[in-house]
Amino acid sequence: MPTLSEILIYPVKALDPSSVGRVSITSIGGLSGDRAYAMKDVNGEYIHGKRTSAVHRLHTACDRNARQLKLRVHETDQICEFHLDTDREALEAWLSEYFEMNVILAVEPGGGQTDSVIFTTDGKAGPTVISKATIREVASWYDGICPEQMQQRLRPNLVISDVPPFWEDRLVTNSDYRLQIGDIRLTGAEPIPRCIVPARHPHTGMEYDGFRETFVQKRDETLPTWVGPDDLDGNLFSLMIGTEIPESERDGELAVGETAQIVSP
């Protein structure tokens, strides 16, 4: 039976995820705590993987209840820990030194700082969805990339198990389709056009040679019968679906283990 097998939130945009068993939906249709914090420069521009590979070499762990963030630079042993509220200035100073630019930590509700490619009709973004089978399939296209690492490269929010590869693509083939997880219904908003981030090793930032070319070729070869290039906006370098959670569904929660199905209204 199709099941929501993982929920991943990214407390600080561009940094490492936290796996949670249950998550509430925010008033703007995002997941609570997802990209609630984001690193910006003095001009208000995001500091993320599309901008610099340095984010990949920064390993983090976030205790959401204690509001503590631990940081460690790749291939070093020193761990620095900051409270996200009371140590904000010290954290910004640490990040500024690491990135060699002035860093400001911006704060918004979950869903308010997701990339604009999947912004929804009310200006914010819901969670991204992918199947475990899709992750395994795409990992098989590359030597040396296991499914776990591919998932780290793709950075999804919701992972669905016990469905075929590219099952989630159905959500953009018919505007009437909805993804129902437990009692919550999500609308498929957009296929996600990929940037440079999936081509980079999630811990070192090293780029995989020919990643995009291999992806486009294999994506074309493995397109299921239920989806065509036009459904992906003509961009075969697309994977995962960005969703919108309707306002009527925003007082609920999503939980690992709930059944998932694609339904019509």
Residues with Cβ < 8 Å from 33, sequence gap 6 or more? 9, 11, 18, 20, 23, 64, 110
Whole-angstrom distance between the N-terminal and C-terminal Cα of the chain? 21
Distance between CA atoms of residues 190 and 173, nearest Å: 10
Residue 263 C-alpha from the chain's centroid = 23
Q: Each residue of 52-75: pLDDT tens digit?
A: 999 999 999 999 888 999 999 999
Tokens linked to 238 = 């697309």
Query: pLDDT tens, position by position, for the chain (265 residues)?
Result: 999 999 999 999 999 999 999 999 998 889 999 999 999 999 999 999 999 999 999 999 999 888 999 999 999 999 999 999 999 999 999 999 999 999 999 998 777 787 654 555 555 578 999 999 999 999 999 999 999 999 999 999 999 999 999 999 999 888 788 999 999 999 877 899 999 999 999 999 999 999 999 999 999 999 999 998 999 989 999 999 999 998 889 989 999 999 999 998 6
Do 235 and 227 form a contact (C-beta atoms < 8 A)? no
Length of the chain measured in residues: 265
Distance between CA atoms of residues 19 and 241, nearest Å: 19
Tokens linked to 165 = 């590869």
Task: Write phi, then psi, for 13 (nearest 5 degrees).
Answer: -50, 135
Task: Write phi, then psi, for 136 (nearest 5 degrees).
Answer: -65, -45
Domain range annotation of the chain: 3-66+109-263
Q: Each residue of 69-96: pLDDT tens digit?
A: 999 999 999 999 999 999 999 999 999 9
Do 185 and 246 form a contact (C-beta atoms < 8 A)? yes
Q: Is the pTM of this model over 0.75?
A: yes
Do 169 and 224 form a contact (C-beta atoms < 8 A)? yes
Distance between CA atoms of residues 82 and 140, nearest Å: 38
Residues with Cβ < 8 Å from 21, sequence gap 6 or more? 7, 255, 256
Homologous superfamily of domain range 3-66+109-263: PK beta-barrel domain-like (2.40.33.20)
